[in-house]
Amino acid sequence: MTLPFLASYVALWILVVFQALVLMGLVIALQRIQRRVFAAPGGRRDLLRGTPVPGFSVRELSGRTLTADDLVGQLTALLFVSANCSSCHTALEDMTGLRHKALGNVIVVVSGTEMEARDLATTYELGRVIADVDSELVDKFNIARTPLAVLVDRSGHIQSYGEPALASSTTTEGTELAAAEVHGNS
């Protein structure tokens, strides 16, 4: 082997090792960013299917008090939105799948002021709306991004947790189960 050939061979291996180290650093940095972006408040992740609904007591715009116990006995979808979120407006425009999945029982939880919640309720003709001004429900349900839908089954447990399209279309077993219960076939 000649000296120039040996030097280029060593230089090439040094470059390969350097690139591998840079790539490993980028992967680690990406994982850290992903954990920060998708982590919920307090470092907790999304609620898992089968998890009991956290305890809460809030007031709907209508003045009615809603508690976690009120969700037991009926299929309910909680749709978490923010007033200034464009994808939230898209989700509010088409809640058909979510309404079908929850047998029409959808409660919209607006992160923002009461006035913003009233504006959304009027604009999209929403029935049940909660202005989550102090982020009580956002914190209890570990909401890190909006729009996000939480489907609660008749026993008061989380059936699905995710983007409204996913919560309303990933599985039909909840709707089939609810339909069977409605018709007395449970």
Distinct helix (H) and strand (E) counts, the chain: 7, 7
Choice between 165 and 115, residue whose per-residue pLDDT is larger: 115
State the Cα–Cα distance between residues 157 and 85, nearest whole angstrom. Answer: 28
Are 113 and 139 within one domain? yes
State the Cα–Cα distance between residues 106 and 77, nearest whole angstrom: 5
Residues 77 and 147 in one domain: yes
Mean of the pLDDT values across residues 70-89?
92
State percent of the chain over pLDDT 90.
51
Which percentage of the chain shows pLDDT scores above 70?
Answer: 81
pLDDT of residue 44: 45
Same domain assignment for residues 55 and 109: yes
Q: Strand 148-152 vs strand 76-82: parallel, antiparallel, or unpaired?
A: antiparallel
129 has a pLDDT exceeding 70? yes
Range of the domain at 70: 46-182
Confidence (pLDDT) at 165: 67
Mean pLDDT, the chain, as a whole number? 82
